[in-house]
Structure 1
Amino acid sequence: MQSSKESVRVWLVTGDPGIGKTTVLMKTMGIMRGYGYALGGMLSKEVRIKGERTGFELTDVASGRKGVLASIKLNVGPRLGKYRVNLVDLAEIGAKSLLDAIDFCDVIICDEIGPMELFSPDFRHAVKTIVESGKPVLGIVHKRLNDPLIQEIKSKPFVEVIEVTFENREKLPTILAERISSKVKGKDHES
C-alpha cells in the first residue's frame, strides 16, 4: 500500500471477475446505511434475458433512478465487444449521481470504474471530481484497466487499492465500513 491508513479517504476495490467485488461493496453499503449514513453515487449491474447477458444497467444510489449503461440492442455509442455504451444515460444518471453525492451524501459509491464507463468524458470528469472532493469514496475499479486517469488516481496518497480475494472477502465489508466511517465528517456511529 502506498498510503498511511490515517490519510486514506478513497478506497478502490479490485479483483478477478467473479471474486465478489460487488458483493463486498453491497455488504459495505448495508453496514454504512445501518450507521445512518446517506449514500450516493452509481451502481452498475448485468442485465440478463433468458440467461444471456444483454447489457448493463446503472442506478443512482440516492434516487433509485435507472438507466442503460450498455446494451447489445443499442445502435449508437462507442462499441466495446458486442455492447454499445449509452453515453447519454452515463452522463445524465451516472456522472450526475456522482456529482450530486458530493453535495447531498456522506459517502460516495462508484461501481464500477471500468472500460465502458470511461468512454464518457462526463463520467471521467465526475470520477476525478469525487476523488478530489474530500468526501469518502468507495469504488470498484476494473483490475486490468490501464487508463491514465486510473493510474493518476491510484497514485494519490489518500487512495488505497484493496484486492478482494477468497481469503479476505468475508471480512472486508466490516473493515471497509469502519475505515470509511472514520472519515465521515460530523457524524458518529455506534460500533
Structure 2
Amino acid sequence: MSLTAKQRVFVEEYLRTWNATSAAKAAGYSEKTARSIGQENLTKPDIAAEVKRRLSERAMPADEVLARTADIARGDLTEWIDADGRLDVPALKAAGKGYLLKKYRVTRRTHTTKGGDETETVTTEVELYPADAAHDRLMRYHGLYNDKVRVTDWQDEVIDLLRRRELEPADVRAAYPDLADDIFARAGIQVHVDDRPD
C-alpha cells in the first residue's frame, strides 16, 4: 500500500525534525490532534516501514565507517596536489574523497601599492581531520590496546576450567572442600545436591 500525500509529508518532516507532533502539524493535521496522530502514524506499518527504509538509505554501513576512518588515519592527499602545490578540490570530490577535508578555505586579498599598482595575495588553508584520533578508533576496533592488566591466581584458572567444562565440580569439591562453594559462585555454576560429598 502506498502512502497518502499527508503521510508522505509526515515522513519527510519526521525525518527532518524527529518530532512526530510537528511532523503531523506540517502534514496538515489539526493542532488539537497533531500529537496523538503523530504518535499513531509512527505505529502504522506502512509509515514505520517507510521511515525504516529511508533511515537505512542514510545509514553508513560498518565497512564504510572503517574504510573512511582508515582514509582519515592515512591522511594522504598527495594524489590531488599538483606540481605547484595546489589542491585540486574538484578532482578530490570527483574521487569521492571530499570527506577527508575538515576545512578548505581560499582567501584572496588585493593590495594597492603607493604607485597605484594592484597585487593579489592568495592564501589557501587546508585542514584534515586528526589522524591520531582515527588511529585511536581503529586500534580500539581491532583490540590493539592492551591497557588492562589481569592478575590471575590458581583459583581463576580453576574457574576458567570449570566454565569450559574441562574440570568437573565433583573434582573441585574433592580437591578444595573448604573453597569449593566460593569457587562455584565466582564461576557462576550452580552445584546440584548429588555433587556434594555424603
| TM-score interval, smaller chain | under 0.3
Structure whose residues are more often helix by fraction: 2
Higher RCO (CA-CA < 8 Å; seq separation 6+):
1
**Structure (1 or 2) with the greater strand fraction:** 1
Q: TM-score, normalised by structure 2?
A: 0.20
Between structure 1 and structure 2, the one with the greater Rg is: 2
Question: What is the TM-score normalised by the length of structure 1?
Answer: 0.20
